[in-house]
Structure 1
């Protein structure tokens, strides 16, 4: 049930244009301090995982792990996605509460 709730919320945030997907775009949003939370799939490559987690720790952006890239992609209505960033405080706070 909780999985469906966070997926629906992420889909809503995506339709509101408050979600960015793709490794390089997410890193750019983290650096510009616009990313409020980053969702990273557990099946990401070690290189991608290290790059994203290091950036998030340095810029103090919360990072949450999700089951796999297919679930993350389905949540925003796309093919598989490894990493997405939420750019809105309200969506980010609710996602944090649902994923914890």
Structure 2
């Protein structure tokens, strides 16, 4: 895994407005509008369980333990982000190539 390229790729996805985070993430997973979720290493156990259970139930691929919260927040230019969902299939290919 190339962490620098992953962070850079997440920044590109964010600037293209193809990221979902916060309370909208669960809704987008439920609506099958998100195909990949990235979860940070320092997320709380209840949030982690809620997101991973939704991803498992709706067959959404997720990755955890790739970045910490500070790295992800800095990459997308937001504060205190613990998980993001990627909506566009081309951006998902870009992210997966850097994992």
TM-score, normalised by the number of residues in structure 1: 0.91
Per the alignment, residue 8 of structure 2 pairs with 8
**Structure 2 gap segments, 5+ residues each:** none
* CA RMSD, Structure 1 to Structure 2 (Å): 1.3
CA distance in 2, matches of 1:29, 1:62: 13
Structure 1, 71-80 or 81-90: larger mean CA deviation: 71-80
**Structure 1 gap segments, 5+ residues each:** none
TM-superposed deviation, 1:78? 1.7
TM-superposed deviation, 1:95? 0.9
1:45-60 superposed matches below 5 A: 45-60=44-59
TM-score, normalised by the number of residues in structure 2: 0.92
TM-superposed deviation, 1:67? 2.7
TM-superposed deviation, 1:80? 2.7
Aligned length: 98
Structure 1 runs of 4+ aligned residues shifted over 4 Å read: none
